[in-house]
Amino acid sequence: MPKMTMVDALNTALHQEMEQDDSVMVLGEDVGVDGGVFRVTEGLLDAFGEKRVIDTPLAEAGIVGTSIGMAIFGLRPVCEIQFSGFSYLAFHQLEAHAARMRWRSRGAYTVPMVLRTPYSGGVRALEHHSESREAYWAHTPGLKMVIPSTPRNARALLISAIRDPDPVIFYEPKAVYRAFREEVPEEEETWPIGKAQVVREGEHLTMISYGAMMRPTLEAADKLAQEDDVEAEVIDVLTIAPLDHHTFAESAKKTGRVVIIHEAPRSFGPGAEIVARLIESSFWYLEAPIRRVTGYDVVIPLFAYEKAYLPSAGRVLAAARETLESPA
Amino acid sequence: MPKMTMVDALNTALHQEMEQDDSVMVLGEDVGVDGGVFRVTEGLLDAFGEKRVIDTPLAEAGIVGTSIGMAIFGLRPVCEIQFSGFSYLAFHQLEAHAARMRWRSRGAYTVPMVLRTPYSGGVRALEHHSESREAYWAHTPGLKMVIPSTPRNARALLISAIRDPDPVIFYEPKAVYRAFREEVPEEEETWPIGKAQVVREGEHLTMISYGAMMRPTLEAADKLAQEDDVEAEVIDVLTIAPLDHHTFAESAKKTGRVVIIHEAPRSFGPGAEIVARLIESSFWYLEAPIRRVTGYDVVIPLFAYEKAYLPSAGRVLAAARETLESPA
Amino acid sequence: MPREVVDLPYQVEYLSILDEDGHVLDEDLEPEIPEDRLLRLHRTMLLARRFDERMLHLQRQGRIGTFAPVRGQEAAQMGIVAALRESDWMVPSFREQAASLWRGQSLESFLLAYGGFYQGNELPGNQMPEGSRNLPVAVPVGTQPLHAVGLSYAIQYRGQDDVVVTFFGDGATSEGDFHEAMNFAGVFQTPTIFVCQNNQWAISVPRSRQTNSETLAQKALAYGFPGRQVDGNDILAVYVAAEEAAERARSGDGPTMIECITYRLSMHTTADDPSRYREEEEVEEWRRRDPLPRFQAYLKQRDMLSDSDIEEAEEEILGEIQDAIDGAEERMEELANEELSMFDHMYAEMPPYLREQRDQLARELGRKEGNDA
Amino acid sequence: MPREVVDLPYQVEYLSILDEDGHVLDEDLEPEIPEDRLLRLHRTMLLARRFDERMLHLQRQGRIGTFAPVRGQEAAQMGIVAALRESDWMVPSFREQAASLWRGQSLESFLLAYGGFYQGNELPGNQMPEGSRNLPVAVPVGTQPLHAVGLSYAIQYRGQDDVVVTFFGDGATSEGDFHEAMNFAGVFQTPTIFVCQNNQWAISVPRSRQTNSETLAQKALAYGFPGRQVDGNDILAVYVAAEEAAERARSGDGPTMIECITYRLSMHTTADDPSRYREEEEVEEWRRRDPLPRFQAYLKQRDMLSDSDIEEAEEEILGEIQDAIDGAEERMEELANEELSMFDHMYAEMPPYLREQRDQLARELGRKEGNDA
Ligand SMILES: Cc1ncc(C[n+]2csc(CCOP(=O)(O)OP(=O)(O)O)c2C)c(N)n1
Ligand SMILES: Cc1ncc(C[n+]2csc(CCOP(=O)(O)OP(=O)(O)O)c2C)c(N)n1
Ligand SMILES: [Mg+2]
Ligand SMILES: [Mg+2]
């Protein structure tokens, strides 16, 4: 079992899917000759040629709109937006067309495309390179929204996304890209879109997170076990939309206490929807208010203060302890 | 006190502010000669000339980006996007620049602009003409997001928005535009942005809504009083961001039961944030799960089925009764 | 060298074949279209005209909702699609009723869609029959040409020789997406035909205030491919321009932009009142260039059509339209209670939370269809 | 008439004044710039060059973060701003260090900003001093020209005669916002100068694959205003082109687009490795056209500058840069704990919920500044 970074794992998934299915196309800015600014598409041009691995002009709506046309034809475009902070230039193409073509044509035309884009802070980047605004897409009926957290689930989810018959926005946590390696089995794996994963079992507290925030979350869970004798159940959301609220509910009903962690701004963020679903499903089981540990409602600062902005294991731990202290 | 429709009231506010302040400009598609497709800008061209009332080319990013430049200069542009469903073509200008210019320049350059746009369903319109996606803007740090519900508060809020030193997205419920008349005092009124309004007092239940949904909400509240002997407190949110959660909390602590009503899609919608804030502020006071009565998570249907999509007084009533039935 | 003029190999050509009375201006340019095809074109043009008029009545009576009349632009649309194959793709905006009728869309499907039923997009023979190559209406102005570029890229990738035509208005040329589509097409030399229906108005904004360029056709020069103007009320000229563009595209020579100079004789949509922004004289002037009588005059000169043929066709068409209306209204009644269909076609498979919402609506509607429709 | 060529009054001119060795090609074109201004231009160009080199070292040492080197484009930027007034506005993208230094931005402000401190945008003498007319860096490619259009519309509305210059790259011309900005400027005849720094590359994508048009300048023709090319490594030619455009703009004749033909001699940003996509020979060829030695040769020919002058200036500049670095690093240390400032400047007044979040962060940081900073 080779140990891979998330970049390697994503690259492997692309190679494999392009190999198996000649309708899979890759397009975007600098994805060809340069192999993508994070090298996720490295080697694809050599392997599959410039008809399938397309360096496009610098135009995000152009990339997405062209992908929509290709997908309607029956291809499976996997387009890259260089940073999620630039995906809003294509917002209307996603909202008005990718998300609606199946609906509008009553199933006659479909848009099986994937939009890959790096999100998340913590890599000392320039303005617009560190945002987490997955809630925009999650609030858009017709789109699916996926965020992996490790090399292994990144590969599995990207394969599932490419094979999915509907448009999938695929956020890649760039802080995880090369942060660590994980064993990824040789044989193909997929992970169902729409399914969360319980990655740590526990009975005292439920922690719900995803993407780059899984690391501080798991770190906090370990600390709780070591220092507080508390076993936290940790859920990796994986698919932001459609949200797997049954898995959340099951856990919340068991533990009665929930903390949600994400780096997106708090207000109107993904955490709010998770709270609302839990209230709908599990209100009578809750023993403490659900807490959100999130980015603040400000523009994520340039890198000098990024650490203070991003939820840390310490912040998660503090929120977990407060939640545990609430009277039962 | 003249009785006005919301269109009249908005038109009055624009006339008045343009009269008083020659830095107020109006621009957009068909806002000049045609007076706007809903006639909200009627008469402005004649009164203030084509330098200040500008029929622009058909380009939403162009309208918003130009407004940003004008605002940086020190003008107060009030731009119109013909339907909110087309505002996403300018999403990046709003997210990347309008919302951030003050922050980026550390206060040196500011963007005191208003983006007016009709939203809401219920007027037998074509596709893309009936959306409610206020959550997109509410989740964007740096923007303010306002939705009036009656002629009187529309005039007051539009004046406040124009004078506000920050960018304000101003959604106009087109279903209310000409639906009824209300007395609007001759003298100028403003309403603070960031403040919700308790429009009906009550002690048994809190109903939180805004925009076009205030009417079915108030209708349901009346029915509750008449048929169930229940006094519902009704809160008109008015400003979606920044959200006035203190007003919600005060009411929830009193009633212990809350229903939230909006026509936006449910998942990741404004209701979720209101739930989350209430859980943070008022968890221990709640006697029933908070319920959301919302649009479904689908593309709002063409008009034949729009009525089934939009929350009705009946749906609100049913949710209110369920909430009241929960064991105390 | 100090100050020199850069050599640019461009010019914009204007093409017309019929004069306002339907006389051929230059016989060398007259396309060879078989008589039966010419007559079919006439028949469809007449149908489009009468259907437009009838829809306007229905709208005024509240029997359907808003739509965008096509009156005056029939030749500009039909000349294009008449020059294409069935296997070519069409990517329309929202005013292409004439082109769509030629490409096989049924009258009923229009009536249902403008009646507020998305099922209008489901009927057999409508804009999206099995294997259809007509995309549905795109309301957001200027956003659909990119889909045409993606489709045509895919066609080329698959080694096919179909082409893709996309329609948009003069106003649409101001949108950023138009620019990005033109640029992608130029860079990738896709088999795309960009057809601008320059009908002189974008709601209340006249062509002259939409952009400062002399022609819209010259915009193609910014992307390194040919742009041309054509008299859009002259179906023969439009046909010839489309044929030439299609040939270029099929033989791998890339995209073309065609600016059809035409006029919207009716209102923008049924929600619009053009008297607020344009003079009746202007409309009157363009009425004299109406593409329908012009085409009829041409066919008469060629002895292909007589007044009595026209009368006969008119009568037939009125019947056809009435049947369609009757059918559509019956269908609308049948469909009136199918609200639950709003959950269909959001995704290939309905996710659990949508199923839950659907069940909720079903309960509310007091119906039984909750679980496995 | 049948087939005719539409008369379009356009051509694209290419302008150059200095040859690669700094000789004047045509003395009639040589601009009259006072000697002290020429020498100030040289001094700033040298400063920009050395500062760029030094920032690269700092970045490699991890003392600052990512930035986009300007090397090779100094003349293309400075020739433009040198022809403007102080009261004119500049709307830059993210590579305009040379232009910004000329317009008064301090070295420290760059170091702070690229050091991850937004306070870099607050220092006196930086890009945003009181009454400054330089907008901050715009990272999203092609989105800022619209702000230039809005500013210039406002200038005209207020009856002022300032102009607005906006800088962007060859890649930026592909974005829809570029198109919308050009179109608005053409329609409203705003006093805007669109300066395309065509440095041949947009990260790894060469100019030839960015668009299929022969020149970028010709894109202006699509909007009905003049576009011209200029040798962007020839500061005199750039100056003359900017002067002419500014004159047009000030006298109410509307916008101009200037395409500066130049070259990015360094990497795209410090995160980029250009050896992945371009040949060293190409870079070598352009090094021979380096704008700095060329300008120096010109000044020497005019006996305004000697080798020892240059040496002296070099030495002075190194000291100046070192002082700036020392100052900036000290400032960064001072600022290191001012995280709470992230809540400032989001709105004119901090809304209650932000104040609550700020208090929360303050508690977490264990500091006292919670309530009324
Ligand atoms: C992106 C977008 N903005 C605004 C509108 C509202 N709108 C519908 S049609 C139209 C004018 C279109 O003009 P043109 O492109 O010339 O087409 P025409 O209506 O003349 O056929 C406008 C502004 C829209 N549908 N989409
Ligand atoms: C909207 C947007 N898309 C993508 C990027 C990432 N990016 C930064 S610079 C750049 C290339 C810009 O090329 P060009 O316009 O030629 O300017 P240059 O870098 O050559 O100065 C890209 C793709 C961005 N900053 N903004
Ligand atoms: Mg038009
Ligand atoms: Mg470049």
How is B16-32 classified by DSSP, letter by letter? HHHHH-TTEEEEETT-S
Q: Which DSSP state fits B98?
A: I
- For the residues B271-285, what does the mean pLDDT come to? 98
H or E stretch at A3: strand A3-4
Question: HEC states along D30-56?
Answer: CCCCCHHHHHHHHHHHHHHHHHHHHHH
Q: How far is B301 from chain C (nearest CA, A)?
A: 6
Residue C131's pLDDT is 66
Best mutation target, B291, B305, B312, B317, to test chain C (most C CBs within 10 A): B305
User: pLDDT for C180-193, tens place per residue?
Assistant: 999 999 999 999 99
Residue B159's pLDDT is 98
**Measured distance CA(A179)–CA(A38) in Å, rounded:** 13
Q: Give chain D positions within 8 Å (CB) of A84.
A: none
* Range 56-95 of A in CB contact (< 8 A) with D: 57-62, 85-86, 89
Residue C222's pLDDT is 96
User: pLDDT for D154-193, tens place per residue?
Assistant: 999 999 999 999 999 999 999 999 999 999 999 999 999 9
Give the percent of chain B with pLDDT over 70: 99
CA D120 to chain centre: 17
Q: Give chain A positions within 8 Å (CB) of C183.
A: 57, 59, 62
Please check whether residue A123 touches D, CB under 8 A. no
Mutate to test the pocket of ligand 1, among B58, B84, B88, B130 (most ligand atoms within 8 A of CB): B58
Residue D123's pLDDT is 61
User: pLDDT for C300-350, tens place per residue?
Assistant: 999 999 999 999 999 999 999 999 999 999 999 999 999 999 999 999 999
User: pLDDT for D185-217, tens place per residue?
Assistant: 999 999 999 999 999 999 999 999 999 999 999
User: pLDDT for B138-151, tens place per residue?
Assistant: 999 999 999 999 99
Bridge partners of residue A142, in order along the sequence: none
Q: C169 CA distance to ligand 3 centroid (A)?
A: 5
For the residues of C67-113, what is the DSSP string, one character each? ----TT-HHHHHHHHHTS-TTSEEE--S--HHHHHHTT--HHHHHHH
- For the residues C14-42, what does the mean pLDDT come to? 96
Q: D151 CA distance to ligand 4 centroid (A)?
A: 25
Contact C354 B298 (CB under 8 A): yes
What is the sign of the dihedral through the CA atoms of A283, A211, A24 and A190? negative
Residue A2's pLDDT is 85
Has residue D126 got a pLDDT over 60?
Answer: no
Tell me the count of A-C CB pairs closer than 8 A.
Answer: 138
Q: How far is B110 from chain C (nearest CA, A)?
A: 25
Look at chain B and count its residues.
328
What's the angle, vertex CA A89, arms to CA A169 and CA D67, rounded to 5? Answer: 100
What residue of D is the nearest CA neighbor of B58?
D180
Which residue's CA is the closest to the ligand 1 atom numbered 12? Answer: C202
H or E stretch at B10: helix B6-20
Model confidence at D11, in pLDDT bands (50, 70, 90)?
Answer: confident
C80 close to C242: Cβ distance less than 8 angstroms: yes
Contact D118 A301 (CB under 8 A): yes
What's the angle, vertex CA B127, arms to CA B121 and CA B129, rounded to 5? Answer: 45
Sheet holding A114-119, edge to edge: A53-55, A24-28, A76-80, A114-119, A168-173, A144-146, A239-241
**Measured distance CA(B267)–CA(C51) in Å, rounded:** 42
**Angle between helix D145-157 and B60-73 (nearest 10):** 60
Q: Which residue has the higher pLDDT, B328 or C127?
A: B328
Has residue C127 got a pLDDT over 60?
Answer: no
**Measured distance CA(D110)–CA(D64) in Å, rounded:** 10
**Measured distance CA(A33)–CA(A46) in Å, rounded:** 9
**Measured distance CA(C236)–CA(C298) in Å, rounded:** 10
Residue D130's pLDDT is 55
D262 close to D289: Cβ distance less than 8 angstroms: no
C-beta C264 within 6 A of ligand 1: yes
Residue D27's pLDDT is 94
Q: How far is C34 from chain B (nearest CA, A)?
A: 39
Model confidence at D121, in pLDDT bands (50, 70, 90)?
Answer: confident
Using the atom order of ligand 2, give the atom closest to the CA of residue A58: 23
Model confidence at D7, in pLDDT bands (50, 70, 90)?
Answer: confident
**Measured distance CA(C120)–CA(C104) in Å, rounded:** 14
Return the amino acid letter for D334. Answer: E
Q: B235 CA distance to ligand 4 centroid (A)?
A: 53
Using the atom order of ligand 1, give the atom closest to the CA of residue C199: 20
Q: Give chain D positions within 8 Å (CB) of B25.
A: 157
- Which residue, chain included where needed, has tokens 């497709």? B37
Q: How far is A239 from chain B (nearest CA, A)?
A: 14
pTM, two decimal places: 0.98
Residue C128's pLDDT is 45
Mean pLDDT score of chain B, rounded to an integer? 97
The ligand whose atoms approach the alpha carbon of C145 most closely is 1
Nearest-by-Cβ selection for C135 from A74, A109, A245: A109
Task: Phi first, then psi: give them for residue A257, nearest 5 degrees.
Answer: -140, 130
Contacts with A183 (C-beta within 8 Å, 6 or more apart), sequence order: A1, A2, A3, A4, A152
D56 close to D114: Cβ distance less than 8 angstroms: no
Nearest-by-Cβ selection for A30 from D203, D339, D357: D203
Which residue's CA is the closest to the ligand 1 atom numbered 6? Answer: B82
**Measured distance CA(C87)–CA(C64) in Å, rounded:** 32
Residue C130's pLDDT is 55
Contacts with A141 (C-beta within 8 Å, 6 or more apart), sequence order: A99, B265, B297, B298, B299, C346
**Measured distance CA(D69)–CA(D268) in Å, rounded:** 7
What's the angle, vertex CA C180, arms to CA C174 and CA A37, rounded to 5? Answer: 140
Contact A86 D271 (CB under 8 A): no
Model confidence at C124, in pLDDT bands (50, 70, 90)?
Answer: low
Nearest-by-Cβ selection for B92 from A89, A100, A297: A89
**Measured distance CA(D179)–CA(A25) in Å, rounded:** 28
Contact A273 B272 (CB under 8 A): yes
Q: Write b or e for each residue in A170-192: b if 16 or more Cβ atoms lie within 10 A of its Cβ, otherwise e.
A: bbbbbbbbebeebebeeeeeebe
Contact A138 B267 (CB under 8 A): yes
Residue D222's pLDDT is 96
SS3 state at C167 = strand
Nearest Cα residue to B243 out of B139, B118, B98: B139
Residue A327's pLDDT is 75
Contact B142 A289 (CB under 8 A): no
Has residue B131 got a pLDDT over 50?
Answer: yes
Residue D370's pLDDT is 42
Q: Give chain D positions within 8 Å (CB) of C217.
A: 6
What residue of C is the nearest CA neighbor of A59?
C180
Q: Which residues of chain A, if any, have pLDDT below 70?
A: 328
Residue C90 CB neighbour total at 10 angstroms: 27
Give me the torsion for CA of C241, C247, C248, C254, rounded to 10°.
100
Which residue's CA is the closest to the ligand 2 atom numbered 20? Answer: D202
Q: D171 CA distance to ligand 4 centroid (A)?
A: 5
Contact A243 C118 (CB under 8 A): no
Which residue's CA is the closest to the ligand 2 atom numbered 7? Answer: D141
Has residue D361 got a pLDDT over 70?
Answer: yes
Q: Give chain B positions within 8 Å (CB) of D181.
A: 62, 65
Residue C373's pLDDT is 39
Residue D3's pLDDT is 75
Model confidence at D127, in pLDDT bands (50, 70, 90)?
Answer: very low
Nearest Cα residue to C77 out of C239, C203, C317, C254: C239
**Measured distance CA(D329)–CA(D107) in Å, rounded:** 12
Please check whether residue C117 touches B, CB under 8 A. yes
B92 close to A89: Cβ distance less than 8 angstroms: yes
Give me the torsion for CA of C67, C72, C73, C78, rounded to 10°.
110
Quote the tokens at residue A109: 């035309």
Q: How far is C185 from chain A (nearest CA, A)?
A: 10
* Range 58-117 of B in CB contact (< 8 A) with A: 85-86, 88-89, 91-92, 95-96, 99-100, 103-104
Task: Phi first, then psi: give them for residue C354, nearest 5 degrees.
Answer: -70, -35
For the residues of B227-253, what is the DSSP string, one character each? II---EEEEE--EEETT-HHHHHHHHH
H or E stretch at A27: strand A24-28
Question: HEC states along D176-211?
Answer: HHHHHHHHHHHHHCCCEEEEEEECCEECCEEHHHHC
C-beta C170 within 6 A of ligand 1: yes
Which residue's CA is the closest to the ligand 1 atom numbered 17? Answer: C169
D268 among known catalytic residues: yes
Chains touching C by CB (3 or more pairs below 8 Å): A, B, D
User: pLDDT for D41-60, tens place per residue?
Assistant: 999 999 999 999 999 999 99
Residue B328's pLDDT is 55
Residues with CB under 6 A from ligand 2: A 29, 58, 60, 82, 86, 89; D 95, 139-141, 169-172, 197, 199, 201-203, 264, 268
Has residue D10 got a pLDDT over 80?
Answer: no
Which residue's CA is the closest to the ligand 2 atom numbered 11? Answer: D202
**Measured distance CA(B248)–CA(D99) in Å, rounded:** 52
Catalytic residue, candidates B15, B92, B129, B246: B129
Bridge partners of residue A182, in order along the sequence: A4
Bridge partners of residue A24, in order along the sequence: A76
What's the angle, vertex CA D128, arms to CA D127 and CA D134, rounded to 5? Answer: 65
Please check whether residue B47 touches A, CB under 8 A. no
Quote the tokens at residue A158: 């990207």
**Measured distance CA(D180)–CA(D187) in Å, rounded:** 10
C73 close to C99: Cβ distance less than 8 angstroms: no
C-beta B87 within 6 A of ligand 1: no
